[in-house]
């Protein structure tokens, strides 16, 4: 008889590509995970993992079995969520993917509040800018920018933000204020490496559509906070989300340039598979974030007031 706990261990190894990381995720030891996967392979009579490479990965049959295990575990989770919802219980493991780009500025503090309010929920938070395929993973939900085009997912809007080109007053005094797109070629660009195709470009609103505009590159980073800090230090112009830049703009540390080229507002949503729609944990998280974000989402209003005061 195949044990569910062995499936859980196998799925964790495949998703982390490591016995050690799988053990950390499941709060157990590497030897326990290894034994469970071996028991699973022995019971099935087939090798599920290729252990010869530097990182562990699924064999051909293991990859197919992994996908089926994910579906089985999702069904079990949905059944448990139904019972918990029937009893109005909010408890159990809740795994959520959060973009690192603005997670620390907005979502992470709120998730700490959620954990405090619901002590029987075990939160697993993964902060990364990599796209998480909710259909092929054991995540319950993800925070995403813009709507999802996947018909198997449900997206619930939480708030929105703008992307502004910003530079410090010192930088603009020393290098001049760009008055047109052509002026940008003479300026230093602070580029977000986690967006776009790797080229030194910004997505800007030009003649009613988004276009990629090339910029001379000074700093490239996948850390938005680092780029914000570099802009405040006078190292160049950065395209920064209003969520992160509002305080610096209001304080006069940054000024917006070419505001007419800022892209339309981007939407932040809580996204989850349709199989989680009855999950008491997911729905409670959605209600909590909607309630708490609403009074905080004043960044663009604050920026507009600061601009009007100049």
Q: How far is CA 162 from the centre of its chain?
A: 17
The one-digit pLDDT tens for each residue of the chain (310 residues) are 678 899 999 999 998 889 998 898 888 999 999 999 999 999 999 999 998 767 788 999 999 999 888 888 877 877 776 676 666 668 888 889 888 776 667 888 899 999 999 998 988 888 776 666 676 567 889 998 875 566 778 899 999 999 999 999 999 999 999 998 889 888 999 998 876 555 678 889 988 888 888 888 899 988 888 999 999 999 999 999 999 999 999 999 999 999 999 999 988 999 998 878 878 889 899 999 999 998 778 888 999 888 888 7
Nearest to 211 by CA among 263, 147, 167: 263
Burial of 19 (0-12, 13-18, 19+ CB in 10 A): buried
Closest listed residue to residue 9, CA positions, set 126, 233, 23: 23
3-state secondary structure 39-63: HHHHHHCCCCEECCCCCCEECHHHH
> Under a CB-based contact definition with an 8 Å cutoff, are residues 29 and 17 in contact?
no
How crowded is residue 250: how many other Cβ atoms within 10 Å of its Cβ? Answer: 16
The CA R_g of the chain, rounded to the nearest whole Å, is 23
Q: Say what the pTM is.
A: 0.70
Domains of the chain as residue ranges with CATH: 1-73 (1.10.10.10), 90-160+265-310 (3.40.190.10), 163-264 (3.40.190.10)
DSSP-based three-state secondary structure for 124: strand
Report how far apart, in Å, the C-alpha atoms of 1 and of each of 6, 46, 278 are: 11, 15, 30
């Amino acid at each position: 008889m195949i044990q569910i706990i062995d499936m859980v261990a196998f799925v964790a190894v495949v998703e982390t590509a490591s016995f050690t990381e799988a053990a950390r995720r499941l709060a157990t030891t590497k030897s326990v995970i290894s034994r469970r996967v071996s028991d699973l392979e022995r019971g099935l009579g087939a090798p599920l993992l290729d252990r010869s490479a530097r990182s562990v990965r699924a064999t051909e049959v293991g990859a197919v079995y992994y996908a089926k295990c994910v579906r089985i575990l999702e069904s079990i989770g949905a059944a448990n969520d139904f019972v918990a919802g029937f009893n109005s219980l909010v408890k159990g493991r809740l795994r959520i993917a959060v973009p690192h780009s603005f997670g620390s500025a907005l979502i992470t503090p709120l998730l700490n509040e959620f954990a405090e309010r619901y002590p029987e929920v075990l939160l697993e938070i993964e902060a990364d800018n990599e796209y998480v395929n909710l259909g092929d993973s054991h995540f319950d939900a993800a925070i995403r920018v813009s709507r999802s085009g996947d018909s198997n997912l449900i997206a619930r809007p939480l708030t929105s933000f703008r992307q502004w080109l910003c530079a410090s007053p010192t930088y603009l005094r020393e290098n001049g204020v760009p008055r047109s797109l052509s002026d940008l070629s003479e300026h230093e660009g602070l580029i977000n490496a986690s967006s776009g195709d790797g080229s030194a470009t910004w997505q800007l609103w030009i003649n009613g559509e988004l276009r990629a505009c090339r910029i001379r590159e000074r700093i490239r980073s996948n850390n938005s906070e680092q780029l914000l800090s570099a802009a405040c230090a006078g190292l160049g112009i950065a395209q920064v989300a209003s969520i992160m830049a509002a305080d610096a703009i209001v304080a006069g540390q940054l000024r917006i340039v070419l505001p007419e080229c800022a892209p339309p507002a981007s939407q932040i949503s809580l996204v989850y598979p349709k199989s989680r729609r009855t999950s008491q944990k997911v729905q409670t998280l959605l209600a909590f974030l909607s309630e708490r974000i609403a009074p905080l989402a004043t960044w663009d209003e604050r920026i507009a007031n600061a601009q009007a005061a100049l």
